Amino acid sequence: KNQVEQSPQSLIILEGKNCTLQCNYTVSPFSNLRWYKQDTGRGPVSLTIMTFSENTKSNGRYTATLDADTKQSSLHITASQLSDSASYICVVRKGGSYIPTFGRGTSLIVHP
């Protein structure tokens, strides 16, 4: 069964600190992996997308990595800000299929 597992389920950090969120998947064949940020009461917003040949992609303070061999991805947030408090969702697309497989998300809270 194609699955996407995210860890940790929730995370609390202090403002200014770095953190790393994990995403493991079993989706095969792999097409691409995307990280979304979802603020409370809003729809998800795409942060990064990586295909098989890419192993790192940055978007400001957000850096995503992909290891297609181990089927793992991580999202690193540098110098966290209060506005980073949100749910971060990993989404994997299977080759030849439009339908995405979503992780359950990691809820990040940044405290002042």
Partner 1 sequence: KAGVTQTPRYLIKTRGQQVTLSCSPISGHRSVSWYQQTPGQGLQFLFEYFSETQRNKGNFPGRFSGRQFSNSRSEMNVSTLELGDSALYLCASSHSGHSSTDTQYFGPGTRLTVL
Show the CA angle centred on residue 43, arms to residues 12 and 17, nearest 5°: 25
Among 10, 20, 46, 83, binds partner 1 (CB under 8 A): 46
The two structure tokens encoding residue 1: 């069964």
**Which long-range CB contacts under 8 A does 46-50 form with residues at least 24 apart?**
47/75, 47/88, 48/75
Q: Is 44 in the site for partner 1 (CB under 8 A)?
A: yes
Contact characters 73-92, partner 1, x per CB under 8 A: ----------------x-x-
Size of the site for partner 1 (CB under 8 A): 20
Q: Is 57 in the site for partner 1 (CB under 8 A)?
A: no
